[in-house]
Structure 1
Amino acid sequence: MQEFKIAVAQIPSAKGRIEQNIQTHIEAVECASAHAVSMIVFPELSLTGYEPQLADRLAITVGDARLQPFRDLAVQHRLCVVIGAPLKTDDRPEIGAIIFYPNGKTDSYAKMHLHPGEECYFRPGNTLKLLDVQNQSVALAICADTNSPLHARACADKGASVYVAGALIGGNGYAADTEKLSNYAREYKMLVTMANHNQPTGNWKPIGKSAAWDHSGCLAVASESAKALVISQQIDGHWQSQVVALSSGA
């Protein structure tokens, strides 16, 4: 059986350009497959960019026909793909993660903890999401979820061995936010890894620096502006991580 590897993708997102962003995502998935990755996770709202005012118009369902390439890639490469997108509901959209499984099935997770102001455009989710991927229990988080110690604790209580977040983190918040992530890794003996944007989106200037931590501290961190994957795997009982550059076209 292939060993479990998880990648977080640090990529830019063009404002509202879903088709263009799909191509950027595909290139990252192909790179992950070339490195035998089992699961790849993208930043918060990676498919549309972080555009709250446009979210209602841009919101999609997991069955959107434009997402077929992700279904195909997940099956073809036998990996789990998790992209960020606003999800349609009968109310305000949710800040979602759409999950494509290697068996062709799809699923979703909705951000449970909203930043102040997001409630004007989005509604919160109310259910944790843990995935069983090659004998690892992987808990999904989206940005402000990670600021709530209760979210990480609940995932750990449910047996999560990996805690992965799609995020949008700027320079002013990076130190405090990543200190929390590092603390979760140490306290709950989980691999914690985070995918951040590397170019401005909405009114935010993300700082990149996607990273991975285990109980001993930071394992790897990307630069501020690079298009890259941070890939983590467990070798002889210890987590190891590396940064892999994406091509200039990714």
Structure 2
Amino acid sequence: MPRELTIALAQMNCLVGDISGNVDKIIELAATARREHAADLVVFPELAITGYPPEDLLLRPEFIERSEAGLERIRRAVGGIAVLVGFPHLHKGELYNAAAVLRDGETLALYHKHLLPNYSVFDEKRYFRAGSRPAVFELHGVQVGLTVCEDIWGPAPMAQAVRAGAQLVVNINASPFHVDKQAEREAVIRERIAVSPVPVVYVNMVGGQDELVFDGGSLVMDAQGRITQRAPAFEEGLYLTRLRVGRTGVEPLPDTVTETDGLAGIYQALVTGVRDYIDKNRFAGAIVGLSGGIDSALTVAIAADALGPDRVHAVMMPSPYTSDMSLEDARAEAEALGVHYSTISIAQTVDSIERALADEFTGSTRDATEENIQARVRGVLLMALSNKTGKLVLTTGNKTEMAVGYATLYGDMAGGFAVIKDVPKLLVYKLSHYRNTLSAVIPERVLTRAPSAELRPNQTDQDSLPPYDMLDAILELYIEQDRSAEDIARATGASLKTIREVIAMVTRNEYKRRQAAPGVRISQRAFGRDRRYPITSGFKEPRGG
């Protein structure tokens, strides 16, 4: 007679370093899976006990001791259900990224991650030793193999588990989001199943951790490579899957298959990143300098969606160059969102600073120096409000600006979290249009007029930069794909002169980016953990062509 197994996929939002809190949540979710759903197994993400990535906390002996104590507390507290949980395991003086299966006070299996990623945002070889042995345990007559995250991206670990008798493979993950990441994961799992045809249960973390956002998307794929269930993206919770066990193997029963991708997925990633950065770091809310331009318009909308409008303060800081249209549009958006809104003129403050510098500047002409004074006065005001209220200043610079240095250090770069730091300018517009499909909050003029910093009369961004469609294409190829100037010219049709000018701006402004606030990562090559270039460098692009 065929029988069924019930597995609970615990798509959990962990807090790095909060071992006690993470363990409390694991115990509670395991008890719920047993009591309310009669699950046979509950599966938690990679390093769920510590959160991911714990980085150099792993070098502290007391951190490892607390993690081991947390695992022991789970072992003692949970009964009547098998629990699969990730944790750092110190064994014979070596540290492993491990997964343990616990049931009724016993350890049924212990697995050490085989493939340690050491690229992009990952540096696991700094901390962990690679495992080499498979781990297969029996769950009510079914042989279940264990793998951890990167193990599914290479062919050997899953094939080794199947050779050891696994009829079902579980893969626990802390796999961060970037655009189109879910499609990549699913394609890789299908590749593994094509060689080792058994079902895969894939469980991923959710939530924001500094620059990284984990999107969940936990899933079950059958032995033919078909998705039978997919959990919602960016939503914490327990998601059940049922598997029929018969003579021919294990067959997942079809269930809910949700999908969040495209602009909706990117927007959810930004909202999740802002919410968790502010809440996990215990800020009271967010402060945004709302200028009437597109970047701050998107930033304040994301903040309101992440935190609720009652925790967001939008501040308009007009100068003599600020247009009435900008004032009107900023107020209109604040009212549409329902956020607290205030206006603080910077004219007198800027004038007093310029008068204080008048003797020093005698004989010089007005240039970007005076423009930057305006931006820096705004930064001072926002930071003062932050100090007084306990709310975090969210900066509004986009990836295009961060790349070429079209931002003022200690001015509009002043703040604690850079919401759209990894969002190119054209994508800012697309996300703003998307946000207005949910409810119309960004005024139409903000979406259609030429972008401007409004730091001098009749200024537009295109006075200083190439057209954004060209600029974004050049930057994507150079920053995210490491293409040469000649390759970029062939791909975009832009002149080598323009491309080299853009590359020179990127190189020249590394020192600014090094001092920028962290921000949500949505691309495969973000500024920060991903892209680490020297500030002081004699390397130049070749001049040929």
Give 1:54-93 correspondences, 5 Å limit. 54-57=57-60, 58-60=63-65, 64-74=68-78, 76-77=79-80, 79-93=81-95
Kept in 2, the 8 Å contact 1:143–1:165? The answer is yes
Partner of 1:137: 143
Q: Secondary structure at the match of 1:154?
A: helix
Gaps of 5+ in 2: 257-545
Distance change >3 Å, CA 65–CA 86, structure 1 → 2: closer
* Structure 2: distance between partners of 1:60 and 1:83: 16
Counting aligned pairs with the same residue, the percent is 24
User: Which amino acid in 2 is paired with 1:56?
Assistant: L
The number of residues matched between the two structures is: 239
Once the two structures are superposed, residues 103-128 of structure 1 have per-residue CA deviations (whole angstroms, 9 ceiling, x without a partner) of x2125211111001211111111211
Partner of 2:100: 98
Q: Secondary structure at the match of 1:43?
A: coil
User: Which amino acid in 2 is paired with 1:83?
Assistant: V
1:120 aligns with 2:122: no
1:229 aligns with 2:238: yes
Partner of 1:246: none
Kept in 1, the 8 Å contact 2:42–2:82? The answer is yes
Partner of 1:177: 185
Distance change >3 Å, CA 92–CA 203, structure 1 → 2: farther
Kept in 1, the 8 Å contact 2:112–2:131? The answer is yes
* Structure 2: distance between partners of 1:14 and 1:214: 32
Kept in 2, the 8 Å contact 1:182–1:192? The answer is no
Q: Secondary structure at the match of 2:33?
A: helix
Distance change >3 Å, CA 231–CA 54, structure 1 → 2: same
User: Which amino acid in 2 is paired with 1:28?
Assistant: L
Q: Which TM-score applies when normalising by structure 1?
A: 0.86
Give how far 1:28 is off. 1.4
Kept in 2, the 8 Å contact 1:230–1:242? The answer is no
Q: Which structure shows the higher helix fraction?
A: 2
Q: Which TM-score applies when normalising by structure 2?
A: 0.41
1:195 aligns with 2:203: yes
Root-mean-square deviation (CA, aligned residues, Å) is 2.4
Kept in 2, the 8 Å contact 1:184–1:190? The answer is no
Partner of 1:20: 21
* Structure 1: distance between partners of 2:159 and 2:85: 24
Give how far 1:221 is off. 0.9
Partner of 1:158: 164
Kept in 1, the 8 Å contact 2:152–2:192? The answer is no
Once the two structures are superposed, residues 161-186 of structure 1 have per-residue CA deviations (whole angstroms, 9 ceiling, x without a partner) of 11111101123343222212133345
Q: Which structure shows the higher strand fraction?
A: 1
Give the number of the structure whose alpha-carbon radius of gyration is greater: 2
1:239 aligns with 2:243: no
Partner of 2:50: 48
Give how far 1:68 is off. 4.1
Distance change >3 Å, CA 202–CA 46, structure 1 → 2: farther
